[in-house]
Chain A
């Protein structure tokens, strides 16, 4: 019997505590910098090394390159770069392997849409997704380069 009263006391005490919920759709949720959101893609930095497509566990990245239109320069430039967000799991592996940081994560995460077709994002869209880009992208480097101390 006493235990029941104790429990009632706990719940009563909680009534006066501040609310912990987010007013989410009205106010954006604060996310930390490392948050893994929709990728931003910078075509100029891309060297078409194909590593992101290779490392992707769900094969959601499609890319093709073409020869550099400027004949003096070597290498390739990107032609098509699509990410299918129906199957992308935002695992962060593509940004991890990218040697030039051409593909980086942003803090945007609102992908909900009424049509599945809308989830197929092309290079232009990914390029325009340039808000809230993640600052810190390579943490596995030796300390000093990135990361914090205690």
Chain B
């Protein structure tokens, strides 16, 4: 047999398709990958350590910068953990507003994924179409809380802003529009033979593997495990509403695409239901001026678009946490990458890496 040379390829930290500053040290034989070693930490800002020196309100803007495509969920994670530790009551309207923003943020996040994933596969236009629809959501958020990405919207005990005049109608319009618009996406992407060829049958892992690697979110559901914290460890007021947990069958990247498209649909359904029941009311609970969290510790999990976003707070009774730990789903999901890439073609690398849906701000913390 012809002897071919094994080559060490450094992919990243500056590379168009590593979604930020991930570095992959790849051993390739021709175009076949023998070994992958992901190197993380180029975007590490020490959020957890910084949080030990910040009051609970001050931590919220920092969480915006973890998973910067779904900052609402991050806001909620830390706010929810604090509320649970303090045993605070949150007014109904505030919870509804939180759910609307979180679900819209999930839609926006999945749209970013669909767009960038297709961009990784070489198609340009879906990226821009997705970003146009995401733009509508960002504009809605901009109207609500004055920022497009770093929302800093939620507060311990409620939310910062009530919905402005006519905002809820705009959300409803968007939901109706988006439910129709999804058909266009399916026309453009789902039926494309090249897309099917690129994604079918790659990046498959079993249920056992997924569980042993502690995968969560759509990366776990794609193997057929219907695990969704919104239903199984219900937080906020999700238990009031009806929605399905889509699961995958084959577990390949194509399945992940369909799963995430279905999750967009489900999120829109939740928003629609919330809009039907939302009433006037206070948006802030009875919260003391200076937040002093009682001694103790708490762990809460929130279903972020990428998986289980956990927040573990240890408090020693001061106004600052003694220790704060985020279970950042992207970081955990990334662990399975070396296993998946072994023996794959190098052009599958991008397809598989993109399928995991990592956000480097979250991976590096």
Contact = CB atoms under 8 A, between A and B. Distances in A.
Interface string A86-122: 0001111100100000000100000000000000000
B193 interface: yes
B167 to A, nearest CB: 7
Interface stretch (B55-63, B81-89, B348-356): B55-63
A142 interface: yes
Contacts of A23: none
A76 interface: no
B4 interface: no
Contacts of A74: none
Contacts of A20: 132, 135
B193 A4 contact: yes
A interface SS class: loop
Contacts of B39: none
Nearest to A92: B152
Given A7-B189, A9-B187, A93-B57, A32 B143 contact: yes
Contacts of B61: 57, 89, 91, 93
B162 interface: yes
B142 A35 contact: yes
Contact of A34 (B57, B59, B145, B278): B145
B58 A57 contact: yes
Contacts of B278: 150
Contacts of B59: 57
Nearest to B161: A139
A76 B121 CA distance: 62
A139 B188 contact: no
Interface residues of B, number: 48
A52 to B, nearest CB: 12
Interface string B49-72: 000001101110110000000000
A145 B165 CA distance: 14
Interface stretch (B210-218, B250-258, B279-287): B279-287
B129 interface: yes
Interface in B126-176: 129, 132, 135, 139, 142-147, 150, 152, 155, 158, 160-169
Contact of A4 (B166, B168, B192, B280): B192
Interface string A2-37: 111011011100100000100000000001111110
Given A55-B57, A91-B61, A36 B146 contact: yes
B122 interface: no
Contacts of B58: 55-57, 93
B194 interface: yes
A11 B188 contact: yes
Interface residues of A, number: 38
Contacts of B191: 2-4, 6-7
A143 B193 contact: no
A92 B61 CA distance: 9
Interface in B224-273: none
Given A7-B189, A9-B187, A92-B152, A139 B162 contact: yes
A7 B185 CA distance: 9
A24 to B, nearest CB: 13
Contacts of B347: none
A80 interface: no
Given A4-B193, A139-B161, A31 B283 contact: no
Nearest to A134: B146
B125 interface: yes
A140 B284 contact: yes
Contacts of A93: 57-58, 61, 152
A105 B163 contact: no
A36 B152 CA distance: 11
A2 B146 CA distance: 44
Contacts of A35: 142, 146-147
A90 B57 contact: no
22 contacts: A1-B193, A2-B191, A6-B187, A10-B188, A11-B188, A20-B132, A34-B142, A55-B58, A56-B58, A89-B61, A91-B61, A92-B146, A105-B146, A139-B162, A139-B283, A142-B284, A143-B280, A147-B161, A147-B162, A149-B280, A150-B163, A150-B278
Interface of B: 54-55, 57-59, 61-62, 125, 129, 132, 135, 139, 142-147, 150, 152, 155, 158, 160-169, 184, 187-194, 196, 278, 280-284
Given A146-B162, A147-B162, 15 more contacts: A4-B191, A6-B188, A7-B188, A11-B188, A31-B142, A32-B142, A55-B55, A91-B152, A139-B161, A142-B282, A142-B284, A147-B161, A147-B164, A147-B283, A150-B163
The 3 closest A-B pairs by CB, nearest first: A3-B191, A147-B162, A148-B165
